[in-house]
Structure 1
Amino acid sequence: MDYYDMEVKLGHIAILKDSLWSGDFGLIRSPSLSPIYIERFRGERTRVPFGYHKFWEFVCVMNGEGKFMVEGRADVPLVDSRIFLIPPNTSHAEYSEKKTEIIWVGCKGTVFNKFSIDKVLYTTYPDLAGKFLDLWKLSCRGYGNIGMELDGRCLDILGCFQRLLKEGEVHPDQNIVEKAVSYINEHFADDIDIAELSKKLNCSEGHFYRLFKKRIGMTPVSYISKVRIQNAAQWLMRSDLKLSQISNLVGYHDQFYFSRIFKKITGTSPKAYRDRRQSDKLINPQN
């Protein structure tokens, strides 16, 4: 019988081969913790049914936005560097109308035997997200004796995740950042005053800045700009609105300032961005 005794059909997911653990040392998968699959997705996810697995799964959102849905529970926003740990038999799905990059890691092992977790846990931490990208890059080799290293990196990820959760219990700062991110994603077109937002979250402005940058990897002001420009890019691709109109829709009342921020973030001007996208559509009309 296969070590993982797969009880569900994984469809398109590629199972990591046992041969990755073979070698001169006669190694086998670690019974403590070992990955079943490591998959990466980039694109929109608008027609994804709910599904579940008989094993534990990490979902790491490298970048993008949307919502993580669990049947019978409140949705959780998808934001950059957000990592979810999903218990077995938990029906869930990720939904995003915009291009999103996600890495899934299914794993199993005796380390989970003492876990008394029956709900999805999540944290937002850029350094931890970087570990998932490194893990995926290693798995892409698909050959050689890399199994032991895959096991070790998965254990490192789980250990880091557990540490962050414990820190969150002692210092419930993560809730502050989560609420701030949700507020910005919903009100990005408004004039957001960081000092006022800090007051709403019962936090000093300086402390809020430090927490936000630690968790998200950028300042609140930079994050607001990023969300605005992401939405502006969608308007440029999918509408014929003037630049001044789009500028106002995403919270910039000065078109020239909007253009400067857009170029700073995307590397091109709004007009050039629109022209290139329209040209791409002529070449590839299905995009």
Structure 2
Amino acid sequence: MNSLKAHCLEHGGKFTRQSGILLGRTRDYWLIFETFHPLPVGYVSRCAQIGRSWGMHRHVDCQQMRELPYYSLVLITDGEGVFYDGSFDRLIPVQAGDLLCLFPGRPHAYAPVKGTSWDEINFEFSGVVFDSWVGAGLLDPSEPVRKLVPDGERALIAEWLKKFHAVAFTLADRKMAEPALADAGRLIALISELCETWQSGNCDADVEWANTAKQQLMKLSAGKKADFAVLAREFGVGEQAYRKKFKRLCGVSPSAFRSRQQIEMACYELISTHKPIKEIGYDLGFGSDYYFSKRFKQVTGVSPGEYRRQAHS
């Protein structure tokens, strides 16, 4: 019996055999989990495993870039191809054992070698808890392709697939397509393990600059206002040059990065304490309750009060 179909029968989800872009060829598509009920703090929205995938052949052939409104991780378990990085206008080779890291609003396209297919498993996810990982370790827009298993060793790829399955099977077993905070926690644990193990060939001066700049912001106390002119001088550049370079390398402006960091701290305070919302906003450096609530809703999609109610319901 087909292995994906067997997994589907054992764990749940939906299996289909699809025809499409490659004439006379089919792909096996196991939709493991899908939900349309977001959690503001962070959630897994979709997970699928595909056998004989043709990827984005049509996009690659027409040289069209795609942009997603969410994050996605794509582990290639068999085959080879290419990844087009629209943000940096570069073409990156892809092989079995590579992980494609896709970011909201970042143009890209990818596909196996023309006339062939590859096998993959993918997770789609969103939320402020994942926003905080942008640029740190795994979630770095300047490195969309990670060499998880540099030599493509089959045994190591199989081990990583088991780890992806450990997260995916829990989702597949869910009788109701409702996200849970524990799902995001399991994915974060997987991301952490990924960060600890891979070897990157792109640790150049730009990546080092971006990591230093982000660490610089993360070391600021929660309620301290960031003085970007002072921070820029530490790099020997003017404030405008600092802001432009930060956004180019990190995918977001330094102001947005700092704001997301503060909102993540607010999320933690709202869940773990009974402090008044106004006090939380003040402690994190927001000048007024109105501005705190407005910025919080811009990032999470709900007000601080609604976020606290959802978390405790």
The TM tier, using the shorter chain, reads 0.3 to 0.5
Provide TM-score, normalisation by structure 2.
Answer: 0.43
Provide TM-score, normalisation by structure 1.
Answer: 0.47
